[in-house]
């Protein structure tokens, strides 16, 4: 049986990437504006669901203990964040992955490394963002190669259109960064639009992936994640957005 990270597409296996047969959509900013208005109506209802559920895999005391926290959402087996932890001992890194198989491997890697500045958790990032992470407690948030949900019927599942997005901004410290990457240009264009117009984030970079001080590609020339490495090796263009909370 094959297992796949729930929030990312396997570029090498069409069975796990059925939308690849569909032409990649273009950014639809008018539709995105309408989507944001619709989210206002369901925001309170969705938050109440998660508050009533009351489950988050990440203890709040971690955020009170460490002043410099980097968070990766959908970290897979954790290889990239493990390397970052080795190179950035002054930061405390938290990785969250909902897939049982991948998160198990991730946690094993972290424990075996014996590093004290990295922790991995299995769970859904949505309740963690809504109920488990204090405001203005995270310096960097990484969302690398999430599922783009390209069909219009699934637009609400895109991170920047999800009702959890306000909490993603809430937990970010002033001056902190959200670091996105995708193999779909429309996804980054829409994420840029939402970040700027809805959340007043400053766009540092938006466009095709190039080495810079936020993505550390100079240190990871073949790709930061297994998905990025596959895209690079296939000469498939990748795109990124670096946003800063002012």
Kindly report, residue by residue over 27-41, the tens digit of the pLDDT.
888 888 888 877 766
Nearest to 7 by CA among 154, 119, 222: 154
Kindly report, residue by residue over 188-246, the tens digit of the pLDDT.
999 999 999 999 999 999 999 999 988 889 999 999 999 999 999 999 999 999 999 99
pLDDT of residue 152: 86
Kindly report, residue by residue over 39-91, the tens digit of the pLDDT.
766 777 777 777 777 677 899 899 999 999 999 999 999 999 999 999 999 99
Nearest to 69 by CA among 109, 128, 123: 128
Q: Could you tell me the pTM of the whole model?
A: 0.87
In the chain, count of helices (H) and strands (E)? 8, 7
Contacts of 191 (CB under 8 A, 6+ apart): 158, 159, 160, 180, 182, 241
Is the separation of the CB atoms in 119 and 110 below 8 Å? yes
Contacts of 154 (CB under 8 A, 6+ apart): none
SS3 172: strand
Structure tokens given for 126: 């949505």
Taken in order of first residue, the domains within the chain and their CATH numbers are 25-244 (3.40.50.150)
Structure tokens given for 109: 């890697």
DSSP secondary structure code for residue 27 in this structure: P
């Amino acid at each position: 049986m094959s297992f796949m990270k729930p929030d990312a597409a396997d570029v090498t296996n069409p069975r796990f990437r059925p939308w690849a047969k569909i032409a990649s959509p273009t950014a639809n900013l008018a539709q995105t504006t309408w989507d944001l208005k619709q989210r206002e109506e369901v925001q309170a209802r969705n938050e109440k669901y998660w508050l009533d559920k009351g489950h988050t895999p990440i203890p709040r005391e971690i955020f009170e203990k460490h002043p410099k926290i980097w968070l990766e959402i959908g970290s897979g087996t954790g290889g990239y964040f493990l390397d970052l932890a080795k190179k950035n001992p002054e930061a405390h890194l938290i990785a969250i992955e909902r897939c049982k198989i991948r998160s198990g491997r991730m946690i094993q890697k972290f424990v075996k490394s014996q590093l004290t500045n990295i922790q991995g958790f299995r769970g859904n990032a949505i309740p963690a963002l809504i109920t488990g992470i204090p405001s203005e407690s995270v310096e960097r948030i990484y969302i690398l190669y999430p599922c783009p949900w390209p069909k219009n019927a699934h637009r609400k599942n895109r991170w920047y259109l999800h009702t959890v997005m306000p909490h993603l901004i809430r937990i970010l410290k002033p001056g902190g960064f959200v670091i996105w990457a995708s193999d779909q240009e429309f996804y980054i264009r829409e994420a840029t639009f939402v970040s700027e117009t809805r959340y007043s984030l400053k766009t540092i970079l938006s466009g095709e992936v190039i080495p810079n001080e936020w993505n550390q590609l100079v240190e990871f020339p073949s790709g930061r994640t297994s998905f990025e490495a596959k895209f690079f090796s296939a000469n498939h263009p990748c795109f990124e957005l670096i946003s800063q909370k002012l």
